[in-house]
């Protein structure tokens, strides 16, 4: 079976809230994030390196094209997750720039 790359669109406010809970050690929030891609058949494809993921993927939250209120959740393999954050983000942003040429990503909320 060929690996599938699901990309979920989620509200930024929901992601921010659940990330706060995860950082605080909330086991229920950690499980919720870990199981985001359970409905999709395995293997999944890593967003950053295209490797096949048979088990639970690590999750990376990325900006949507132009809507600040929305973010994407994408699966990444454990090898990519273990990269230094700047390298992981550089790989992901390189892909997003190819997906959406000319789009500038702004991580600061509009005033």
Asked whether residue 24 is assigned to any structural domain, the reply reads yes
Question: What is the distance between the alpha carbons of residues 83 and 38, in angstroms, rounded to a whole number?
Answer: 24
Closest CA to 110 of 78, 67, 60, 71: 67
Dist. CA 82–CA 97, nearest whole Å: 23
Q: Do the domain assignments include residue 110? A: no
Residue 53 lies inside a defined structural domain of this protein: yes
Residue 40 lies in a domain: yes
pLDDT of 107: 65
List the domain range (segments joined by +) for residue 74.
8-99
The distance from CA 57 to its chain's CA centroid, rounded to whole angstroms, is: 10
The answer to whether residue 47 is domain-embedded is: yes
Cα–Cα distance list, 65 to 29, 48, 57 (Å) = 26, 17, 23
Total structural domains in the chain? 1
DSSP 8-state code for residue 25:
T
- % of the chain at pLDDT higher than 90: 80
Work out the average pLDDT over 95-110.
Answer: 79
* Total-model pTM: 0.88
85 within some domain = yes
Across 85-99, b (16+ Cβ under 10 Å) vs e yields: eeebeebbeeebeee
| Residue 105 domain-assigned (yes or no) | no
The model's pLDDT over 43-81, given as tens digits with 9 standing for 90+, comes to 999 999 999 999 999 999 999 887 888 999 999 999 999
In a domain, 43, yes or no: yes
């Amino acid at each position: 079976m060929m690996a599938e790359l699901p990309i979920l669109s989620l509200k930024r406010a929901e992601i921010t809230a659940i990330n706060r809970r995860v950082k605080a050690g909330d086991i229920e929030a950690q499980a919720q994030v870990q199981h985001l891609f359970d409905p999709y058949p395995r293997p999944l494809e890593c967003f950053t390196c295209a490797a096949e993921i048979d088990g639970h993927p690590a999750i990376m939250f990325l900006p949507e094209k132009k809507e600040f209120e929305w973010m994407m959740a994408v699966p990444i393999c454990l090898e990519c997750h273990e990269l230094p954050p700047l390298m992981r983000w550089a790989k992901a942003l390189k892909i997003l720039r190819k997906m959406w040429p000319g789009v500038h990503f702004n991580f600061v909320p509009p005033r």
